[in-house]
Amino acid sequence: MAALGPLQRSWRAVQCSDQLMLKIQAQNRRTLDLLASKCYFYHSRCYELVDRMSDIRSFLHSRLRTATLRSDYEGQAVLVNCLLRNYLHYNLYEQVIFTEVYEEGIERI
Protein backbone atom coordinates (compact mmCIF):
# COMPACT_ATOMS: atom_id res chain seq x y z
CA MET A 1 0.00 0.00 0.00
CA ALA A 2 2.97 2.32 0.59
CA ALA A 3 3.81 2.24 -3.14
CA LEU A 4 0.42 3.68 -4.03
CA GLY A 5 0.06 7.43 -4.49
CA PRO A 6 -2.11 9.49 -2.15
CA LEU A 7 -5.02 9.67 -4.61
CA GLN A 8 -4.97 5.91 -5.21
CA ARG A 9 -4.96 5.30 -1.46
CA SER A 10 -7.91 7.66 -1.11
CA TRP A 11 -9.86 5.74 -3.75
CA ARG A 12 -9.06 2.47 -1.97
CA ALA A 13 -10.32 4.04 1.25
CA VAL A 14 -13.55 5.00 -0.57
CA GLN A 15 -14.00 1.40 -1.75
CA CYS A 16 -13.37 0.11 1.76
CA SER A 17 -15.82 2.58 3.32
CA ASP A 18 -18.46 1.68 0.72
CA GLN A 19 -18.15 -1.97 1.70
CA LEU A 20 -18.30 -1.04 5.37
CA MET A 21 -21.51 0.96 4.82
CA LEU A 22 -23.09 -2.04 3.07
CA LYS A 23 -22.24 -4.19 6.09
CA ILE A 24 -23.64 -1.63 8.53
CA GLN A 25 -26.86 -1.27 6.54
CA ALA A 26 -27.29 -5.04 6.45
CA GLN A 27 -27.04 -5.24 10.24
CA ASN A 28 -30.19 -3.98 11.92
CA ARG A 29 -28.72 -3.96 15.42
CA ARG A 30 -28.99 -1.08 17.84
CA THR A 31 -25.79 -2.19 19.56
CA LEU A 32 -23.83 -1.06 16.48
CA ASP A 33 -25.22 2.49 16.52
CA LEU A 34 -22.21 4.07 18.22
CA LEU A 35 -19.75 2.26 15.96
CA ALA A 36 -21.87 3.14 12.92
CA SER A 37 -21.78 6.84 13.81
CA LYS A 38 -17.97 6.76 13.75
CA CYS A 39 -18.06 4.94 10.42
CA TYR A 40 -20.37 7.60 8.94
CA PHE A 41 -17.79 10.26 9.74
CA TYR A 42 -14.95 8.34 8.10
CA HIS A 43 -17.14 7.46 5.11
CA SER A 44 -17.86 11.14 4.59
CA ARG A 45 -14.19 12.01 5.08
CA CYS A 46 -13.09 9.46 2.46
CA TYR A 47 -15.40 11.02 -0.10
CA GLU A 48 -14.17 14.46 0.88
CA LEU A 49 -10.57 13.44 0.16
CA VAL A 50 -11.47 12.46 -3.42
CA ASP A 51 -13.72 15.53 -3.82
CA ARG A 52 -16.90 13.52 -4.44
CA MET A 53 -18.95 14.57 -1.42
CA SER A 54 -22.06 15.21 -3.51
CA ASP A 55 -22.21 11.48 -4.30
CA ILE A 56 -23.09 10.56 -0.71
CA ARG A 57 -25.47 13.40 0.20
CA SER A 58 -28.61 11.32 -0.35
CA PHE A 59 -27.05 8.43 1.60
CA LEU A 60 -26.37 10.75 4.54
CA HIS A 61 -29.96 12.01 4.40
CA SER A 62 -31.37 8.49 4.47
CA ARG A 63 -29.14 7.47 7.37
CA LEU A 64 -30.15 10.63 9.26
CA ARG A 65 -33.81 9.70 8.79
CA THR A 66 -33.11 6.22 10.13
CA ALA A 67 -31.10 7.55 13.08
CA THR A 68 -33.91 9.97 13.93
CA LEU A 69 -36.56 7.26 13.83
CA ARG A 70 -34.42 5.03 16.06
CA SER A 71 -33.63 7.87 18.51
CA ASP A 72 -29.92 7.33 17.85
CA TYR A 73 -28.66 10.67 19.17
CA GLU A 74 -24.95 10.07 18.53
CA GLY A 75 -25.69 9.03 14.96
CA GLN A 76 -27.88 12.09 14.46
CA ALA A 77 -25.17 14.43 15.73
CA VAL A 78 -22.49 12.91 13.47
CA LEU A 79 -24.73 12.81 10.41
CA VAL A 80 -25.89 16.41 10.88
CA ASN A 81 -22.23 17.48 11.08
CA CYS A 82 -21.39 15.48 7.95
CA LEU A 83 -24.30 17.06 6.09
CA LEU A 84 -23.33 20.55 7.24
CA ARG A 85 -19.78 19.95 6.06
CA ASN A 86 -21.16 18.68 2.74
CA TYR A 87 -23.40 21.72 2.26
CA LEU A 88 -20.67 24.20 3.14
CA HIS A 89 -18.24 22.49 0.76
CA TYR A 90 -20.63 23.15 -2.13
CA ASN A 91 -21.81 26.59 -0.88
CA LEU A 92 -25.38 25.37 -0.35
CA TYR A 93 -26.06 27.92 2.38
CA GLU A 94 -29.85 27.86 1.99
CA GLN A 95 -29.82 24.16 2.86
CA VAL A 96 -27.75 24.77 5.98
CA ILE A 97 -30.53 26.72 7.66
CA PHE A 98 -32.52 24.08 9.52
CA THR A 99 -33.03 23.20 13.13
CA GLU A 100 -32.14 19.97 14.83
CA VAL A 101 -33.83 18.70 17.97
CA TYR A 102 -31.46 17.14 20.49
CA GLU A 103 -32.20 15.27 23.62
CA GLU A 104 -31.96 17.48 26.71
CA GLY A 105 -28.93 15.58 28.00
CA ILE A 106 -26.82 16.35 24.94
CA GLU A 107 -25.04 19.69 24.94
CA ARG A 108 -24.94 21.80 21.81
CA ILE A 109 -21.48 22.83 20.75
**SS3 string of 5-48?**
CHHHHHHHHHHHHHHHHHHHHHCCCHHHHHHHHHHHHHHHHHHH
Q: How far is CA 98 from CA 1, 23, 103, in A?
A: 42, 30, 17
Report the distance separating Cα 78 and Cα 74, nearest Å. Answer: 6
Instruction: Render pLDDT for 17-31 as a digit per residue (tens, 0 to 9).
Output: 999 999 998 988 888
* Residue with the larger pLDDT of the pair 62 and 3: 62
Instruction: Render pLDDT for 65-107 as a digit per residue (tens, 0 to 9).
Output: 999 999 999 999 999 999 999 998 888 877 776 645 555 555 5
Confidence (pTM): 0.80
